[in-house]
Amino acid sequence: MEKRQLGKSGLEVSALGLGCMGLSFGYGPATDKNDAIALIRAAFERGVTFFDTAEAYGPFTNEELLGEALEPFRDQVVIATKFGFEGGDSKGGLNSKPENIRAFVEASLKRLRTDRIDLLYQHRVDPQVPIEDVAGAVKELIQAGKVKHFGLSEAGAQTIRRAHAVQPVAALQSEYSLWWREPENEIIPTLEELGIGFVPFSPLGKGFLTGKIDENTNFDKNDFRNIVPRFTIEARKANQEMVELLNRIAQQKGGTGMPDTGMPATPAQIALAWLLVQKPWIVPIPGTTKLHRLEENLGGSTIKLSPEDLAEIEKAAAEITVQGERYPAALQARVGN
């Protein structure tokens, strides 16, 4: 797979990474451990070198899973993880105090079976801790060799600038896709100016842009999409317009969609190809629990959208109003300024 540089950090990763959260957390029951390890290793065998986890995914179990899965080829991959919640639990409130960051890193290194974290993100901006203190704590960990690069997640432009002034930020991880384009307003220009890479999570709209979800889909009782306004039955019905657009472009690609198979592209592949063409320092991290979906997603990195394709997508997307907020109000409040 093609490699990309995350901004000016010198951190090189595969053009698509693997978001591992869903293997342990957020979308219903955890995947069987052996199946999850097999999926992670299959991603590596297919060229993925960038793997994303966090202490809060489980909590802790996702880091342990990733550590075991990647141990045989640790030096050939880039591992990203995240700190920032009290006790590692996303329901426990925010905690980015320097002493918590240091304690997290020591525990995370053990769970990940490694001597360094390649990319360490603050999971959410903590309004109780100045971002300069957070960046300073990570800077010390970088100087100690326990962390290689510093990242932020869902931070606003002001926070990014303040953190970057203390310790260069290698990457920002935030939601970005054809149905959540808010980062284009201020975030992407800021990242470009400062030389920071962008790692979009939910690049397939939490699964919606795959075309496999409609108003009749029933989610597991533990699936967090049950509380997301954008996934109400009414919103799912209205938002099919975006999937129809992607499907139309996919069908137009004909047999060029998947060059190795001669099969047409899929909506998911078009959504990922669209993201990849936006900037050369954008690296989406779609997640999945299934091998055939992994292979489908990776196929998105081979699709070339023409200027005509992009113009058609832009024109059609401008006429579509996505229904529903992307987060419930309580979670949206955790997005930084």
**Lookup: tokens for 62:** 């996702």
Average pLDDT, the chain: 95
Q: How far apart are CA 18 and CA 224, in angstroms?
A: 20
Q: How many domains does the chain have?
A: 1
Task: Give me the catalytic one of 27, 57, 121, 327.
Answer: 57
Q: What is the CATH number of the domain that holds 307?
A: 3.20.20.100
Residue in this structure with the two tokens 């989610």, named with its chain if needed: 219
Contacts (Cβ under 8 Å, ≥6 apart) of 223: 26, 27, 28
Residue 183 resides in a domain: yes
- The answer to whether the beta carbons of residues 121 and 11 sit under 8 Å apart is no
pLDDT digits (tens, 9 = 90+) for 33-67: 999 999 999 999 999 999 999 999 999 999 999 99
Residue in this structure with the two tokens 């991959």, named with its chain if needed: 77
pTM (predicted TM-score) = 0.96
| For residues 246-272, average pLDDT | 81
Residue 77 resides in a domain: yes
**Lookup: tokens for 3:** 């490699």
**Lookup: tokens for 78:** 């880039």
- Residue 98 structural domain: 3-332
Q: Is 57 a catalytic residue?
A: yes
pLDDT digits (tens, 9 = 90+) for 109-153: 999 999 999 999 999 999 999 999 999 999 999 999 999 999 999
CB-based burial of residue 313 (10 Å sphere; 0-12 exposed, 13-18 middle, 19+ buried)?
buried
Residue 337 resides in a domain: no
- The answer to whether the beta carbons of residues 73 and 115 sit under 8 Å apart is no
Residue 213 resides in a domain: yes
Q: How far apart are CA 225 and CA 27, in angstroms?
A: 8
DSSP assignment string, 141-173: HHHTTSEEEEEEES--HHHHHHHHHHS-EEEEE
Residue 9 resides in a domain: yes
